[in-house]
Amino acid sequence: MSERLESALRVARDTRECVIGEGVLAEVPAIIGEQFPVNGEAVVVADPRTWQAAGAQVAALLRAQHVLLEDDGLYAEMRYVDRVAAALARHPDAVPVAVGSGTINDLVKLAAHRLHRPYAAVTTAASMDGYSAYGASITDQGAKQTFACPAPRVIVADLAVLRRAPQDMTASGYADLFSKIVAGADWMLADALGVEAIDARAWHIVQDGLPAALDDPAAVREGRSAALHDFVEGLMLGGFAMQALESSRPASGAEHQFSHLWDMEHHTVDGRAPSHGFKVGVATHFIAGVYERLLAVPLDRLDTAACCAAWPTWPEAEARARRLYAGTPFPELGVVETRAKHIDRDALAAQLERLKRVWPELKVRLAAQLLPASEVARRLRLAGAPVEPEEIGISRERMTASVLKAQHIRRRFTVLDLVLRTHALPIFGDEKKGTE
């Protein structure tokens, strides 16, 4: 175990052990026996693909019962949480073992939490950072929501299993990990403006190993052992940081708001939803471009009075949010989230004056954190991930419309909020270009 991983586990709230390596699937019985003081009984939860990838082997090693979710439309949705919880309840003394990727893990995570039982996760694809994350991302009544629930007590990631996963799943995970660069920049903005302070411990867990984990996307794509190990560790570290903070802030910014929005809009291409990582990757490339343009704007010379004059009152902001989400299954969501971060003109004036003071130094730090949009695109392509919105079925017109909706969909302060408050860039479809 690396020093970074060992250090992260010491502050993780839920996960006690994370094993990453070649052939470590065979260690599952010993690990579960050590970390779960029960009679050794287990129940494996998988779908047909993950059962074939590792579930059958894990069940045999554990001599476990199993729950096979055979629905072709299997999705991280509340009705499947209910189904998994009911199945687990029939095995009250067994350790739930999720064998799969994002969907299986989130379903078991929330279902086990409902039953007040810790669980174990055996990964079958390096497709996202949610294995080790606090909370489960579940669609309920049409809205994508993060439900508070503990991460797995044990995580086992066998590189031999992950290497056999479909290549697009690894590419999805790479894109998800890459998003931590722009998510970090968003947190730097929030910290500098006094909105949400950076937690140094969580920051370093995510960011310190990120350059090495993202350095060789071609090697990750090819499944070379050293690169794959560092990449998988990077995904796990993101989740441990979220555990430590009980928040997705260390690993999620504006780019994830686009993905959540498209999830809630039930976006599909040829009847299939693009992966979480692919949606996040496309949005990461877009946000990298936003930052690239923003860093060229002399925000230290911002016309605060003009920005405040253009800033909507709460009734105006509420009306806009209601208009944006009218006719959706979640008409109140944008209103609630926008209200949580809306400020009056006096508070805006103070915030923008602070921005002007810190901008010369802040833009230097942001430039050091970020990569040019062209480099983002190059690495995503080498990993096998899409870059442009059209590649995941999002037209340019819809992308423009999504910018404003994404800003409203979470109360988290991001670069979208900064641009909206300063009118620094014309990226919002129904917004004025603002002042120069």
Domain final residue pick, 147, 165, 183 = 165
Same domain? 45 vs 155: yes
In a domain, 193, yes or no: no
**Which pLDDT value is given to residue 75?**
81
Lookup: tokens for 101? 């990727």
**Which pLDDT value is given to residue 330?**
80
Same domain? 251 vs 384: yes
CA-wise closest residue to 20 among 277, 243, 226, 250 = 226
Lookup: tokens for 116? 């007040």
Judging by DSSP bridges, how do beta strands 154-158 and 120-123 pair with one another? Answer: parallel
Rounded to 5°, angle at Cα 39 from 34 and 41:
95
CA dist 214 and 382 (Å) reads 11
Secondary structure of residue 388 in the 3-state scheme: coil
β partners of residue 143: 140
- Number of neighbours of residue 9 by Cβ within 10 angstroms: 19
Q: Are 104 and 127 in contact (CB under 8 A)?
A: no
Domain final residue pick, 116, 138, 165 = 165
CA dist 153 and 136 (Å) reads 15
Please report, for the chain, how many H helices and E strands are present, in that order: 21, 8
Lookup: tokens for 138? 């579940």
CA dist 374 and 369 (Å) reads 15
CA dist 42 and 119 (Å) reads 10
Same domain? 286 vs 417: yes
Q: Are 411 and 319 in contact (CB under 8 A)?
A: no
In a domain, 178, yes or no: no
Same domain? 271 vs 395: yes
CA dist 26 and 398 (Å) reads 47
Q: In terms of residue numbers, what domain contains 124? A: 3-165
**Which pLDDT value is given to residue 42?**
94
In a domain, 236, yes or no: no
pLDDT, mean of each 10-residue run, the chain (436 residues) = 91 95 96 83 94 96 91 83 95 95 93 96 93 86 82 97 96 98 98 97 95 96 96 95 91 95 90 93 98 98 97 95 86 90 97 98 98 98 98 96 92 96 86 36
Please tell me the total count of domains within the chain.
Answer: 2
Lookup: tokens for 325? 């989400």
